[in-house]
Each structure stands twice: as structure tokens, then as C-alpha cells.
């Protein structure tokens, strides 16, 4: 029984190590996605000022239709951008 207990303890330890490794991988993937969003957002904002009004409205309409109704603050921010145009 002592051998079985040792093996079970090793298995639990390995399971924990696998869990930690998967969590680290998910966190790094999430960080990369956030960085990508920031880069693309900043690029679009820089380009946004140079666009004509119709292009701006078209982009904002696409974003508004893709944004869920539950995201109230996002929709509010989009509406404020519409007012600035």
C-alpha cells in the first residue's frame, strides 16, 4: 500500500504541474491577444482621423452591429464617436 500511496502522490503532483503549465500557456496567449488588439486599435485610431466622414460612419456601423447589446459601455462609446463626427 505504501507504494500505491507514493504513486498516487506522484500522479497528483504531475497533474498539478500540468495544470500550472496549461494555465501559464493560456495566460501568455491572452496577453498576446490583448497586445494585438491594442496594436490594431491604435493603428485604426491613427488612420481614423485621416478618413472622410462616410468611411468613419461605415466603420462605426460595422463595429456597432458586431458589438453585443449587453456591452452597454462599448455601445455608449461608439455612440459618442458618432456624435463627434
Domain boundaries, the chain: 1-50, 51-85
Query: Distances in Å between the alpha carbon of 46 and those of 6, 41, 42, 49?
Result: 60, 9, 6, 6
Confidence of residue 85 (pLDDT cuts 50, 70, 90): confident
Confidence of residue 44 (pLDDT cuts 50, 70, 90): confident
Mean per-residue pLDDT of the chain: 90
Could you tell me the pTM of the whole model? Answer: 0.54
Amino acid at each position: 500500500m505504501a507504494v500505491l500511496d507514493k504513486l498516487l502522490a506522484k500522479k497528483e503532483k504531475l497533474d498539478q504541474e500540468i495544470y500550472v503549465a496549461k494555465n501559464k500557456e493560456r495566460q501568455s496567449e491572452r496577453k498576446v491577444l490583448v497586445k494585438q488588439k491594442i496594436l490594431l486599435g491604435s493603428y485604426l485610431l491613427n488612420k481614423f482621423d485621416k478618413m472622410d466622414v462616410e468611411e468613419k460612419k461605415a466603420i462605426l456601423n460595422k463595429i456597432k452591429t458586431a458589438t453585443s447589446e449587453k456591452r452597454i459601455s462599448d455601445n455608449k462609446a461608439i455612440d459618442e464617436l458618432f456624435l463627434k463626427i
